[in-house]
A and B are shown apart, each in its own frame.
Chain A
C-alpha cells in the first residue's frame, strides 16, 4: 500500500545544514554541532531519548561545553535550532527547580543565567530558528540569541505564570528590553502563546518563513542582511521610571480581575520586579533570580506544579494514538453538538445525527463560531467544518468507529437509540453514552454487545473543560476502555476513570455545593454573598452562578436522581426552584434564573454584605467529603485522580491543588472536626463520611 506522497517526503523538510542525517557531532548527548562550507556553525538541540526538547541540568551543562568550543574558535555565525519534529524547546524541566531549597535554587538559577549570558555575549551573530512550540526556558534560550526566525507554525510564550511562577532564566529582562514592555508584561502575566505572525509584528521574531527558506534567512541574518522590525523607541519609553510606575498600577488592576493576589502571588511579584528594576538590566536580572526562588516555594506554585503533573498523569492514561477516525454522535443538543464540533476540530470525521434539522443547524452554527474563535486561518475553519457532517438520517453510524449517544436523559429513548445503533454499527465499534444520571447497568440491558458499551461523560463547555469521566460497568471489555482512553487523548481531553455509580465523581461532588448554596439562599443570604464566599475560596465561579450556567432544569434533574439513588441524606430541592424551572427561568440560557443574565454575564448587585465566616466551609467541605466517600467506595482509584478531575471539570481552586490536597494541607483532622461541628450546628448532611478514618 503506497504511503501518501507528502508523508514520504516530510522528514526531509527540516533544514539542519551540515547536520542533515547526522546522528552525533561532538561529545554531547543532547547537542550536535558542525560547521558548514561558509564557516557558519549549526548547533542542534536533540534531547536524547525524548520526543520533545526540555532543558535539564545536563542539557545546560553540555551547553556550557558547547560554548567553550564556540568561544575558543568563533565561527562566522551560529544557527541554533531543534531537531525534534514537535518543536523548538518546550521549557525547562520543572524538576530542576521543584523540591530544591532556596540556596541551591539560587545556585542553579545563577548558573543557568551565566550560561545564557555567555550565549548572549558571543562575539558572533547568533540566530535561533524556531518551529513549533518555543515556551518558557526555550524562549529564554532563543532570546539569548541575536536574531530569532520563526517557521510558520511557531508558537512562543511564557507559561510560567500558570505554574505560579514567572520566567527565571532572564526572560523578564530580555523580553521587556526587546519588545514593547507592556506587550512583554502582558504575555508573561497571561501566559498566552503568541503565533509567529503576532510575534513578528511585536518584533519578538525577526522573520516568519516556511521551512524551505530557513537556510537563506539564517544566512541573511548572519550577514546582517535581514530587515528587522525591532521596537526601539517604545522600549526605552515604556521602561522609563515614570512609565513603569503608572503602568504597573494598571497591570495590577487587570491582574486582580482574574488572579487575586491572595491566591496568586506570582503575577504581582513579576509586576513589582519590572516596576522596581525595569530600568537596570543587571539589577533586574539579580532580582529575577531572587523573586523566582521565592515563588517556587509558595504553596500556590507548589500546588500548581502538582496540578501540572496531575494533568500529565491523566494524559498518560490515553496511551497510544487511537486507531479510529470516525465518530458518530447521536443528539445535537448542547452537549452532543459541542462534542461533535470538538472532535471535528481535532481532526476526526464526525457525523452528527438528530431527529430534527433545527438542532443540527444550531450545532453547525456553534461549531463555526467556535472554530472561528480558536483559529486564525480560514482554511482550518473550512476543513474542520467539512469534517462535521449533519446527518439527519443517521447514516454515519454504519462507518463509525465510535458512537456517542447524547440524547435527553430518558431511559426508553436511550434504549431505542442503542437498539437502532447496534443493528447498524460495525461489530468492533464502541458505543458510548454521555449520560450523567442513568446507571449504565440499566442502559446496557438488551444490548447485544454490552462489553463494547461504556460511559464518556463530557463537561460543558467541551472546548474549555478538559476532563471526561470514562465510566466502566462490570462487563466493559478492557480493550474498549483502552481504546476510549486513546480516543480522548486524540481529541486532547483528559480521561478520569470512574466506576459506574450515581453521579460518578464530579456531579456527585458538586451536588452538596449547589444544594447548600440554595439552602443558604432560603435562609436569607444574598446570592452575591454566597458566590463571594466560594470565589474567596478560589472557585472560579460561585455556586449560584454555576447553577444558572449549567441550567436550573439540569441541576434539578441531577439533584433528584442523585437524591433517589444515593444513600446519603441530602436536602430536598426547594419548591421555589421547581417553580422557577416550571416557569422557564432556567438560568443563563433563558436570560433569567437565579440571576438575571445580560450579554452572557450575570447581573450582580454591587453592595452585597460580606459572607459569614463559616460560609466557605459550609460550601466547600461537603464537596471534599463526597470526594472521600468516592474514594472509599472505590469509584475513583486514588486521590490524584480526584484532585485532577475536580480541577479540570469544575475549575476547583487550582492553586489549592484540588480538594484532597487541600484537605491534607489544612489537616485531615481539622477538616473532619469542622464537618462534625457543622453537622451539630446545621444538620446531618455535614456528617463526615466513614472514609475519613481510612485516610492516613
Chain B
C-alpha cells in the first residue's frame, strides 16, 4: 500500500518458510493469492533452515541482477507455535493397515497389533531443531562452540541481559515504528508488541536458570537463548529500471552476499565462515563495517563468533587469513537487541535482520552494514548492504 505500483506489478514472490504445514503447501503462493497479487503471480517457497528468510532475498537479488525480473517480494515466516505433533512411523503404518482392512475379521486383526506407544506423538519442533547427521540439537551445538572458545556462563548471561535492555530501549523509543506492523486477529486481539522482551532481566536472575539442553553443567539456558516464536517479514527488491519506472525511493542497496558451510556440530560459527570471504572480496576489515546484525540464536553462539574472529589459530587455519581478524565493536553489533528478546521464528529471522539492519543504519546515519546468521545443519549466510541517502 505504501508503494505507487499495484500488487500485480511484481514479477514474483519468494518466501522463506521452514515449518510448512499440510494445509498450506507452498505458502509463498498462498500468500501471493491472499495478498491480491493476481492469479498470474509466480511464487515459490525456499528452505535453508534458519537462512530461509535471507535466501529469499538472495535469490531475488540474483534474479534481478541477472535481468530476468524487476520487482520481487521476498519474505520469511514461521509459526513455530503451530508446529504439529506427529505420529511416529510405526503408528502411521498401523493406520495404513487399518484403512486397508475391509472385513470385521481383518479389522480385529489390525487392532490386535495396536501398541500404546502409537499414542505418544513426536513433537515435530523437537525433531526439527535436532541435526540428524551429528545428532545434536541446536542448543547443544552452542554448548560445543562455547566450550571450544571458552565462553563462560556469566558472559552469555551478560550478553543476554544487554540484548533485552537494548530491545526494551528500542521499543520505548519507538524505533520499530514503520518496521513493525501490528497484526489483528479475528477475535479482535491486537498484536503490536513483541512480548518476549524482559527489560528487568538481571545477570543474577539469569544465573538461577537451569541449562536447557545439557544438564547439569551446560551453559545454554532458556534465558540466554533465542525464543521459539512466530513471525513474518517482507522486503521489496527492485531493479534500477523499476526504481526509475515507478519513481521508487530505495532505502538500501545489496552490494553482495555469500554463503558458506562448516561442520554441523559447530553450526553457530556460520556467520564467521560466510562474512569473512564477503569482507575479503571487498577488501574490508571488521571495523570497516558500520553496523552488524548477527542473529542471536544463542548468546554463547554470538560470543563464540566474536571470539573466533579474534582467534589467531582459527583465523589462520580455518579461514586462511594471515592472523586474527580482530574485534567487532559491541556498540556496532545488534544495537537494538535481537532474537534473544524478539524471538527466532526460524524462516523469518534472516529476512528480519536484513530489514532491521537497513532501518538501523538509516536511523543512525550509517552507510555500510552486514547482516549474517548461523544456519542449522552447519551453514551461514551474509549480506553486505549499503544504505542510500
Contact = CB atoms under 8 A, between A and B. Distances in A.
Interface in A349-390: 349, 351, 357-358, 360-362, 364-366, 368, 382-383, 385-387, 389-390
A391 interface: yes
B234 to A, nearest CB: 14
Contacts of B1: 351, 389, 391, 395-396, 398-399
Contact of B184 (A349, A351, A390, A399): A390
Given A357-B192, A389-B1, A398-B1, A349 B36 contact: yes
Interface in A390-413: 390-392, 395-396, 398-399
A323 interface: no
A390 B186 CA distance: 12
Interface string B7-37: 0000000000000000000000000001110
B36 A360 contact: no
B182 interface: yes
Given A351-B1, A391-B1, A361 B190 contact: yes
A673 B304 CA distance: 96
Contact of A364 (B4, B36, B188): B188
A365 B182 contact: no
B155 to A, nearest CB: 39
Contacts of A396: 1
A5 interface: yes
B39 A390 contact: no
A399 B2 CA distance: 9
Contacts of A362: 188
B192 A365 contact: no
Nearest to A383: B34
Given A351-B1, A386-B34, A395-B1, A357 B39 contact: no
Interface of B is mostly: loop
A558 B182 CA distance: 35
A390 B4 CA distance: 19
B351 to A, nearest CB: 21
B39 A360 contact: no
Contacts of B189: 361
Interface residues of B, number: 18
A389 B4 CA distance: 17
Interface residues on A, range: 20 to 34
Contact of A4 (B4, B39, B182, B187): B39
A386 B37 CA distance: 12
B186 A364 contact: yes
Interface in A126-161: none
A230 B188 CA distance: 44
B177 to A, nearest CB: 9
B370 to A, nearest CB: 30
Given A386-B36, A396-B1, A357 B182 contact: yes
A5 B39 contact: yes
Given A357-B190, A361-B189, A395 B2 contact: yes
A56 B189 CA distance: 53
A610 B387 CA distance: 79
Contacts of B188: 361-362, 364-366
Nearest to B2: A395
B104 interface: no
A387 B34 CA distance: 9
A364 B34 contact: no
Interface string A632-670: 000000000000000000000000000000000000000
Interface string B33-45: 0111001100000
B187 A365 contact: yes
A530 B16 CA distance: 65
A365 B2 contact: no
A396 B6 CA distance: 12
A395 B181 CA distance: 12
B364 interface: no
Contacts of B184: 357, 360-361, 364, 390
Contacts of B40: 4
Nearest to A328: B1
A358 B35 CA distance: 23
B185 interface: yes
Contacts of A385: 186
Interface string B153-193: 00000000000000000000000000000101111111010
A358 B186 contact: no
Q: Which of B1, B34, B39, B190 has the most CB of A within 10 A?
A: B1
A670 B36 CA distance: 60
Given A357-B190, A368-B187, A392 B39 contact: no
A387 B36 CA distance: 8
B358 to A, nearest CB: 19
Contact of B190 (A349, A360, A383, A398): A360
A360 B186 CA distance: 11
Nearest to B38: A4
B182 A368 contact: no
B24 to A, nearest CB: 12
Contact of B185 (A364, A366, A382, A389): A364
A334 to B, nearest CB: 14
A478 B39 CA distance: 36
Interface in B180-208: 182, 184-190, 192
Contacts of A357: 182, 184, 190, 192
A364 B184 CA distance: 7
Nearest to B188: A365
Given A395-B2, A399-B1, A365 B186 contact: yes
B308 to A, nearest CB: 42
Nearest to A352: B184
A614 B153 CA distance: 88
Interface in A1-16: 4-6
A391 B188 CA distance: 14
Contacts of B6: 399
Contacts of B185: 364
A386 B33 CA distance: 10
A349 B2 CA distance: 15
A364 B190 CA distance: 10
B10 to A, nearest CB: 15
A358 B4 CA distance: 28
B187 to A, nearest CB: 6
Contacts of A392: 182
Nearest to B189: A361
Nearest to B36: A349
A442 B246 CA distance: 38
A687 B262 CA distance: 94
Contacts of A360: 184, 190
A365 B188 CA distance: 4
A349 B37 CA distance: 12
Contacts of B2: 395
Given A351-B1, A392-B182, 7 more contacts: A360-B184, A365-B186, A382-B34, A386-B36, A396-B1, A399-B1, A399-B6
7 contacts: A357-B184, A360-B190, A364-B186, A365-B187, A365-B188, A386-B34, A392-B182
Interface of B: 1-2, 4, 6, 34-36, 39-40, 182, 184-190, 192
Top 10 closest pairs, chain A to chain B, by CB: A365-B188, A368-B186, A395-B1, A361-B190, A361-B188, A364-B184, A390-B184, A357-B190, A386-B34, A395-B2
